[in-house]
């Protein structure tokens, strides 16, 4: 439950931060466009958008999957016991 709650809070925080692009100079003298606000403020605009997509998948698919597989595993279901490590692996990866 703790993982599901913390992941949902983190995903919502990422989704609520709208981009405000900031142009910065790179070490080599080029320009990079940063996301500019919220938890992804130091990421590039492209990576910030990818991270927001990951937040959507976490909120819509991964958190419900974790809750359902945990419930199944507690009831002794073989499907739940097999799916639970995969659901937890998503949160470890992300």
DSSP string, the chain: -HHHHHHHHHHHHHHH-----EEEE-TTS-EEEE--SGGGTTSBHHHHHHHHHHHHHIIIIIHHHHHHHHHHHHTT-HHHHHHHHHHHHHHHH-
Tally of domains within the chain: 1
| 70-94 residue pLDDT tens | 999 999 999 999 999 999 999 999 9
| Residue range(s) defining the domain that contains residue 17 | 2-93
pLDDT at 66: 96
| 25-73 residue pLDDT tens | 989 999 999 998 888 988 988 999 999 999 999 999 999 999 999 999 9
pLDDT at 12: 95
Confidence of residue 18 (pLDDT cuts 50, 70, 90): confident
pLDDT at 69: 96
CA gap 17, 38 in Å, rounded: 5
């Amino acid at each position: 439950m703790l993982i599901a709650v913390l992941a949902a809070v983190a995903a919502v925080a990422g989704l609520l931060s709208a981009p405000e692009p900031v142009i910065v100079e790179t070490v080599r003298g080029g320009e990079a466009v940063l996301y500019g606000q919220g938890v992804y403020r130091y990421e590039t605009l492209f990576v910030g958008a990818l991270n927001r997509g990951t937040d959507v998948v976490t909120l819509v698919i991964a958190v419900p999957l974790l809750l359902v597989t945990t419930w199944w595993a507690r009831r002794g279901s073989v499907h739940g016991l097999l799916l639970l490590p995969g659901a937890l692996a998503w949160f470890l990866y992300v």
